[in-house]
Structure 1
Amino acid sequence: MSHASTAAPTGRIELKLQKASQLFHTLDPSPFRESDLAREAEEYIVNWALELPKTVPIEIVIHLPWDEFSQSSASDIAGAIKGYFAHKADAMSSEMRELFKTGRLAALVALIVLSFCLVSAWLIGSTLKEGPLSQILQESFVIFGWVAIWHPSNIFLYSWPPLARRRKLLRRLAQATVTVDGDAPNPA
């Protein structure tokens, strides 16, 4: 694979391949339109897309030797790349839905635990005489209650934004213009 174009405003990512099969997972028996991209090809495209300005459309250009190039396979390759990234974006949406479902359940459990701990700390403070044991128990319940809400807080504050950014990038790649061209044959 070659390098991406340095003209960042165009949003162009270029790959120079020896064979079209370099793009796809070699153990996947599916036709191009349904094949998974090779891990290296996906990483290459995604890493270059991350470097591009977020406001420009992305163009992916695949250069193949003339003997590997044909119009029918070019449209199959373009469709496979766009379809692959669309599928990955949909999978990311599912992952985010599952994360929020987990977060809602964790928040419910955490609020119950926090409520129990705060009431327990209050009961200990009002029933036991003032002293180190009473204070240790009260503080322990309060700390445990606040620790219980850490996980849902983490989900709703920090875990989903990276997934949303990744999904947005994958959607941009699914909407990219994909061009496959054949390098002119060398004269003999």
Structure 2
Amino acid sequence: MSVKKSSKSYEHQFPKDNGSFLIELRLSSLNQFFNTFDPSPFHDKDIDDDAERYIVNSIKSFPLKARLKLVFYIKQEHQVEASKVLPYAIEN
């Protein structure tokens, strides 16, 4: 007997806010999100392989038309810097 995987299993794995599913990352510092071996300044750094894999695999869980939001939770002392570099890093 085979178990059929629900095509909407993402609905139970991800929280929802205002009609969008949230892909959440909790960071204690920006170094967790960026590749620490990349000597470039933050705005040019590559995203950490584990962070990128988590984001991509999460997105693949959803149908193409699903509304998604990428949400970062980061310690208060890093929030100003994060607000400057994360939008640019995600855009690229």
Short-chain TM bin: 0.7 to 0.9
Which ranges of 4 or more aligned residues in structure 1 deviate by more than 6 Å? none
**What number of residue pairs does the alignment pair up?**
79
Give the drift of 1:17.
0.9
CA distance, structure 2, for counterparts of residue 57 and residue 12 of structure 1: 9
Contact 2:34 2:47 in 1 (8 A): yes
SS at match of 2:23: strand
1:77-92 alignment runs, 5 A limit: 77-83=86-92
Give the drift of 1:73.
3.4
Contact 1:13 1:58 in 2 (8 A): yes
Give the drift of 1:40.
0.4
Q: Which residue of 2 aligns with 1:62?
A: 72
**RCO higher in structure (CA 8 A, sep ≥6):** 2
1:14-29 alignment runs, 5 A limit: 14-29=24-39
Deviations 1:117-161 (A, max 9, x none): xxxxxxxxxxxxxxxxxxxxxxxxxxxxxxxxxxxxxxxxxxxxx
SS at match of 2:71: strand
CA distance, structure 1, for counterparts of residue 60 and residue 37 of structure 2: 28
Q: Which protein has the bigger helix share? A: 1
Contact 2:15 2:21 in 1 (8 A): no
CA distance, structure 2, for counterparts of residue 59 and residue 44 of structure 1: 14
* Letter of the structure 2 residue corresponding to residue 77 of structure 1: L
Q: Which residue of 1 aligns with 2:55?
A: 45
**Structure 2 portions without partners, runs of 5+:** 1-12
Q: Which residue of 2 aligns with 1:13?
A: 23
CA distance, structure 2, for counterparts of residue 60 and residue 16 of structure 1: 11
SS at match of 1:37: coil
**Structure 1 portions without partners, runs of 5+:** 84-188
CA distance, structure 2, for counterparts of residue 21 and residue 56 of structure 1: 30
1:75 and 2:78 equivalent? Answer: no
Specify the structure having the higher radius of gyration (Cα). Answer: 1
Q: Which protein has the bigger strand share? A: 2
Q: Which residue of 2 aligns with 1:149?
A: none
CA distance, structure 1, for counterparts of residue 50 and residue 14 of structure 2: 18
Give the drift of 1:6.
3.1
Deviations 1:67-110 (A, max 9, x none): 1111x531311111221xxxxxxxxxxxxxxxxxxxxxxxxxxx
TM-score with structure 2 setting the length = 0.73
* Letter of the structure 1 residue corresponding to residue 68 of structure 2: I
CA RMSD of aligned residues (A): 2.0
